[in-house]
Amino acid sequence: MLDLARLLMLVFAAFSLVAGSASAEKQYGPGVSDREIKIGNIMPYSGPASAYGIVGKTMSAYFRMINDNGGINGRRITFISYDDAYSPPKTVEQARKLVESDEVLLIFAPLGTATNAAIQKYMNTMRVPQIFVLSGASRWGDPSHFPWTIGLQPNYRAEARVYAAYILEHYPNARIGVLYQNDDFGRDYILGLKDGLRDNYERMVVASTPYETSTPTVDSQVVTIRAARPDIFLNIATPKFAAQAIKKIAELDWHPVHIVTNISVSVGAVLRPAGLDNAKGILSAGFQMDVTDPHWESHPGMRRFHAFMAKYYSEADRSEGGPLIAFNASTALVEVLMRCGDNLTRENVMKVVASLDFEIDTLIPGIRIKTTPTDFFPIEQVQMMRFTGEHWQLFGPIFNGRAETVVPSSN
C-alpha cells in the first residue's frame, strides 16, 4: 500500500496537471471571466456630433440580443458606453476611466477622428485594443507605429481617391469647390483628392474652405465657395454641417454636381433634415446596404437586421443609417471574440483582428472584411451611389480605393 505522504504527492501532481491544462485552455485579460467580457465604448451622445448617438444606442441593443442568446462562448457582454460630447479632452478622460477603473478588455468602435487621435497614443502605451474605430482616418491603419489601433470603414483618403477618379472620368474640365472640416477628418479627404487628381488639382480646385466644429453653421462658407463658380461641390462634413450645406445650396438656387462623404449619407439624420427634394441627385460612395432602399428588403441580411431592430430598438428612426453601422461593427466584434475562444487576452484579440477574411451580409455584396498583420484597413472597397429623392441607388463597379490609381475591385 502507498504511504500517506506518497499518496498526497500523487494527488497533488494530478491536481497540478489538471490545473495546468485548464490554465492552458483558458487565458484571460482584464475584464474577462468565465461568465463575462467587459467591452468599453465612447460615443458623442451630446455635442455637435450627437446625431451619432443612435450608433451607441444600437450597439447596446445588439449586445442585449447577444446576451439573450447565450452570450459569446457562454460569456455575457457587459457593454460600458460613455459620452465624450465629441470633445477630445473628454475622450481622454473617458478612455482612462474605461481602462483604469472599469478595466475593460478593449475599447470598441469609439467614434470620431480628433477624439480617437487624442487617445491613440495612450491606448497603445497601455497596450489596450482600440478596435474598429468609427472614423475613416488613415492613421488607424498604421500597425508598425500603432499596433493596438485599427479602424473598420474605408479610409477617407481612399474614398476621396474614388471621387477624384469619378470626376476625372465624367467631368475632366470641371471646377471644384470643397467644404471641409478643419481636422484630420477633413484633411484626409483633401489628401485623397490630391492623390487622385494629381497634377490637375491646382487647376480644378478653385475653392477650398474649412470650417470648425465649434461654428454654429457653414452657411457663410457655402456662400464663399459658390462665389468661385465651381461646377462640383464636395461636401466633406459631419451630419449636422452636411445637412446645413445641402439646405443652403438649395436656398441659393445653386445646382452644382454635389458629392457628400459616406459618413453623412443617412437619410434620417442628414438628408431629411436638409430636405429630401434638396438632396435629390447627390452623389456619394457606399459600402453597406441602404436601409431605405426597397431593393434590399428581401435580402437575408437586411431581414435579419430589421428583425433585430423591431425586437431590440423599435423606437429608432428606420430611415437612419447609423443603426446599420452599429450592427455591422458589432457583428465584426462578435466574430473576433468568437474566434478568440477561451484565449481572451488583449494580445490575442489583436492577433485575431490582424488576420480576418469574412463577409457580413449587410455590406454591399462583394465587399469583404479582410486584414493582415501589415494591412489594418478592414474594408477597402466602395461603390458609387446617387440619391433618388427617396433612397440611395448604387451604380458602376466596386472600387478598391486604397491604391492611388483607383481601379475596379477584382472581387
Helix %, strand %, coil % of the chain (to 5): 45, 20, 35
d(CA 76, CA 80): 13
Q: Contacts from 211-220 at CB under 8 Å and sequence distance 24+?
A: 211/179, 211/180, 211/181, 211/182, 211/237, 211/241, 212/182, 213/48, 213/49, 213/86, 213/181, 213/183, 213/238, 214/48, 217/241, 217/244, 218/179, 218/244, 218/245, 218/248, 219/244, 219/248
Task: Give me 249's grid cell.
Answer: 445650396
**What b/e string do you get for 244-279 counting C-beta neighbours within 10 Å, with b at 16 or more?**
bbbbbbbeeebebbbbbbbbbbbbbbbbbbbebebb
Backbone conformation region of residue 361, classed left if phi is above 0, alpha if psi is from -120 to 50, else beta: alpha
The pLDDT of residue 20 is: 44
| E strand segments, 212-351 | 232-236, 257-260, 283-286, 343-344
**Continuous H helices in 26-112:** 53-68, 88-96
Query: How far is Cα of residue 336 from the mean position of the Cα atoms in its chain?
Result: 16
Q: Write the CA distances from 167 to 162, 179, 257, integer angstroms.
A: 9, 16, 10
Question: How much is the CA Rg of the chain, to the nearest whole Å?
Answer: 23
Which among 380, 387, 356, 353 has a CA at the least distance from the CA of 366?
380
d(CA 280, CA 119): 38
Cβ contacts of residue 20 below 8 Å, gap of 6+? none
The C-alpha torsion from 218 through 224 and 229 to 233, rounded to 10°, is -20
d(CA 67, CA 54): 20
pLDDT tens per residue across all 411 residues of the chain:
445 445 444 444 444 444 444 445 789 999 999 999 999 999 999 998 998 999 999 999 999 999 999 999 999 999 999 999 999 999 999 999 999 999 999 999 999 999 999 999 999 999 999 999 999 888 999 999 999 999 999 999 989 999 999 999 999 999 999 999 999 899 999 999 999 999 999 999 999 999 998 999 999 999 999 999 999 999 999 999 999 999 999 999 999 999 999 999 999 889 999 999 999 999 999 999 999 889 899 999 999 999 999 999 999 988 888 999 999 999 999 999 999 999 999 999 999 999 999 999 999 998 999 999 999 999 989 999 999 999 999 999 998 866 544 555 544
d(CA 132, CA 62): 16
The CATH number of 36-154+295-379 is: 3.40.50.2300
Question: Which DSSP helix (H) or strand (E) runs through 42?
Answer: strand 36-43
Task: Give me 56's grid cell.
Answer: 451607441
The pLDDT of residue 395 is: 94
Q: Which CATH number fits domain 156-286+383-408: 3.30.70.20, 3.90.550.10, 3.40.50.2300, 3.40.1280.10?
A: 3.40.50.2300
Bridge partners, residue 179, by sequence: 209, 235
The pLDDT of residue 401 is: 64
Question: Which DSSP helix (H) or strand (E) runs through 405?
Answer: none
Scanning the structure block, which residue is given the C-alpha cell 483618403? 157
Cβ contacts of residue 286 below 8 Å, gap of 6+? 262, 265, 364, 382, 383, 385, 392, 394
Scanning the structure block, which residue is given the C-alpha cell 488639382? 201
In which residue ranges of the chain is CATH 3.40.50.2300 found?
36-154+295-379, 156-286+383-408
The C-alpha torsion from 411 through 297 and 155 to 193, rounded to 10°, is 90
The pLDDT of residue 396 is: 92
- Maximal C-alpha separation, the chain: 101
Scanning the structure block, which residue is given the C-alpha cell 443652403? 248
